[in-house]
Amino acid sequence: MLIVDDSSFFRKRLAEIIDADPRLEVVATANNGEEALKQLQIHKPDVVTMDLEMPVMDGITAVRKIKSLRATPVLMLSTWTTEGAKTTLDALEAGATDFLPKRFEDLSSDRSEAQRKLCQRVYQLANGFHASLQTPLQQDIVTQTATAPARNNAPINKPDLVLIGTSTGGPVALQKVLTVLPASFPCPILLVQHMPASFTPSFAERLDAQCQIHVKQAVNGESLQAGTAYLAPGGQQMLLKGRPQRLYLSIEDGHDAQTYKPCVDLTFNSVAPICGDKTLAIILTGMGSDGKEGCQSIKNKGGEIWAQDQATSTIYGMPMAIAKAGLADKILDLTSIGRQLGELL
């Protein structure tokens, strides 16, 4: 791992945490983006942690240059403020892979648990990113060759509701999918992106400015409208309530025991009994398997499931879980997902 930060105190503190984990090793540190590029070429790290504001060369510029030099996951360390969220989203658009709070206490009030979560994220990010660059998994090859191609270009059943769940790599993936949809898109869209509460308002505003459809952070009790995408608020759970002709959202506080807030499975499971047979559920890039249980519920009700392919996924975890479980009606690259969604008209 390469640590990039202009604070010598922070570099030392982070290095101590990382080196205490037997799975991880800090091979070098850098105090600005320019020095980071030199260390990248020398040490070829598996993952880079990057500060945003630094002298000589800032983090976003460094991310762009790293992306052009070598396929390396970059974990941005940012402040969890409104301004920090906007800058972090800029970094993700520039090519950063994921982000965490620079104040580790925001991960957990328990110091040892915060350090464990930090190390686990670094480990998962390095392994997941590099695995996504390798030859497609054998099980996924079987799924794609034996099942998907015959249906990947099949006529699309027009749904009454579209669900999209994603995690690592999701902000950029959602942008690529949603920006190709016309303003007259014929049904509502529910978006579940693993993201903290301080980030989702800025992310919804950014998507809304980029898209022809309307994108907003979901509000408790609001009715669903065609041509609008509703982003689940960070730190809470978004559930569907009502009946097919009168759908509305319930925004609820998440429980401490829940790993993800918002959680893809919880949202999808709430949809299944109401209008699962008229739902298209899509799983995009992300770590883990959140969404598999919810997609199974949708599938059991007769709904349709799409999954992003390995080649275009930043982290092939969540969509791989769908493919391995045999739930995917279509396995599509990111461009095709947006294009085929647009064809629902």
Q: What is the 3-state secondary structure (H, E, C) of 172-241?
A: HHHHHHHCCCCCCCCCCEEEEECCCCCCHHHHHHHHHHHCCCEEEECCCCCECCCCEEEECCCCEEEEEE
Residue for token digits 């800058």?
87
Chain centroid to CA 123? 17
Residue type, 209: A
Element (H, E) at 49: strand 48-50
Structure token digits, residue 44: 């070829």
Chain centroid to CA 190? 14
Residue type, 269: N
**Whole-number Å distance between alpha carbons of 40 and 28:** 9
Structure token digits, residue 312: 């275009």
**Whole-number Å distance between alpha carbons of 112 and 126:** 21
* 261 close to 199: Cβ distance less than 8 angstroms: no
Q: Nearest CA to 104 among 112, 96, 93, 92?
A: 112
Active site members: 167, 194, 290
Q: Nearest CA to 215 among 244, 188, 234?
A: 188
**Strand-strand pairing, 28-30 and 2-4:** parallel
